[in-house]
Amino acid sequence: MCWRSFTLICLLLFVLAGSAAAQTKPVSERAAATAMTALWRDAAKNESAFPAKWTYDHGLVLKGIERVWRNTGDSQYFDFIQHSMDHFVTGEGTIRTYSLDDYNLDNILPGRNLLLLYRVTGQEKYRKAAALLREQLKTHPRTNEGGFWHKKIYPYQMWLDGLYMAEPFYAEYASTFHEDAAFDDIAKQFIFMERHSRDDKTGLLYHAWDESRKQRWANPQTGRSPNFWGRAMGWYAMALVDTLDFFPPNHPQRAELIAILNRLARAVAKYQEPRSGLWYQVLDKGAAKGNYLESSAACMFVYALAKGVHQHHLPAKYLRVAQNGYRGIVKEFLKTDANGQLNLEGTVSVGGLGGNPYRDGSYEYYLSEKVITNDPKGIGALLLAATEMEIAPRKR
């Protein structure tokens, strides 16, 4: 064998060994690497690679990366979170591209990253930026009984999504800055949402509710949207377990939030597809033409169920539901490419109601949205699910 051939073989073996070593890392670390490269495209070196706007989906990814940081203690993850937030947060504590007057609950979620940075660094700019988001909630438009509108442009509408966007931040802020009275308001948001969107027959929650009954998608008698969208219920489930982290143990409505979580868990377990352990895009129509198993909802359900068990809010039997779901995610949706990068397939890009062009909430609508790879909502939920499942052996 010539020296050149020997060198090429050695180089190939070195590359393969490196790739194999990378693939032995936990799913959470591999998914974090995907998020920090595929989503931000090496944002630490290229300012133009940052997300263009202050958005909830990238806030979700950073919450997932926070969990990887806490599990590993590796400072690169915290540094990435801080660098990402510093792209938007000025030295004076304002937030680039954010407008309070939009009254959009989606814009509240990244505030959780600000609270983390304030607790760890003590830098005043993060507190000021978080306080700006808290101010939005003080004047945010509400339904007549006090539920937050999802957005100003969606009057009198409560969406399941909005509970995750606002309530965990609201609870963490109230806990951090001793706003004890806020927890009454926080509990009401969950109670109102379940009261208006829960279907007694299935236990599932409809995507949204229109108090005014003016939307074409709203049932004229109930105000409910027509279908049970997987990711919407996933948002609501995650909102419950994350809010309970900060909810006072002696608060009179804490037990009601845990009861809501248990009702939701029963419905989620009931509609788990038994062969794969996954869930359909439209939860109760698994046999309908065109329906498909969707990855972000599965990740959200796995996270919420596993965390609910670990935090002693749910019976231990739901850990098996989460384990079956996680195995399904790994088998069906996680793919490694030629460069060794872990990719998450099967995430629906978006799901909404109303707007222009109009989204009518029909079964056909939910199936019409694109399904993509490495959507930040999917990757963020995967990070949460993976970190929760990876710590599971230590919790039992």
CATH number of the domain to which 94 belongs:
1.50.10.10
> For 78-115, how does the pLDDT look when each residue is reduced to its tens digit (9 = 90+)?
999 999 999 999 999 999 999 999 999 999 999 999 99
Asked if residue 381 belongs to a domain, the reply is: yes
Asked if residue 389 belongs to a domain, the reply is: yes
* 106 has catalytic annotation: no
| CB within 8 Å of 357: residues ≥ 6 apart | none
Asked if residue 8 belongs to a domain, the reply is: no
| CB within 8 Å of 288: residues ≥ 6 apart | 282, 363
Tell me if 158 sits within 8 A of 150, measured CB to CB: yes
Tell me if 324 sits within 8 A of 259, measured CB to CB: no
- Categorize the per-residue pLDDT at 8 as very low, low, confident or very high, splitting at 50, 70 and 90: very low
Asked if residue 329 belongs to a domain, the reply is: yes
Asked if residue 186 belongs to a domain, the reply is: yes
Number of domains the chain contains: 1
Peptide bond into 141 cis (omega under 30): no
Residue 11 confidence (pLDDT): 42
CA–CA dist 47, 88 (Å, integer): 11
Residue 391 confidence (pLDDT): 86
- Give the Cβ contact number of residue 394 at 10 Å: 8
- Categorize the per-residue pLDDT at 1 as very low, low, confident or very high, splitting at 50, 70 and 90: low
- pLDDT, mean of residues 40-64: 81
Closest listed residue to residue 133, CA positions, set 153, 154, 148, 144: 148
Model confidence, pTM: 0.93
Closest listed residue to residue 237, CA positions, set 154, 321, 177, 137: 321
In sequence order, the β-bridge partners of residue 359 are 354
Looking at the chain, the whole-number percentage of residues with pLDDT higher than 90 is 88
Least confident among 6-15, 56-65, 155-164, 175-184: 6-15
Residues in the chain: 396
- pLDDT, mean of residues 246-270: 98
Alpha helices by DSSP H, listed for 288-375, are 295-310, 317-332, 363-368
Sign of CA dihedral 371, 373, 377, 383: positive
Asked if residue 21 belongs to a domain, the reply is: no
SS3 annotation, 75-122: HHHHHHHHHHHHCCECCCCCECCCCHHHCEHHHHCCHHHHHHHHHHHC
Asked if residue 59 belongs to a domain, the reply is: yes
Q: How far apart are the first and last CA of the chain?
A: 55
Looking at the chain, the whole-number percentage of residues with pLDDT higher than 70 is 91
| Burial class of residue 367, CB neighbours in 10 A (0-12, 13-18, 19+) | middle
Asked if residue 7 belongs to a domain, the reply is: no
Identify the residue with better confidence: 123 or 4. Answer: 123
The one catalytic residue in 57, 161, 210, 242 is: 161
Q: Which domain holds residue 381?
A: 26-41+50-395
CA–CA dist 376, 57 (Å, integer): 6
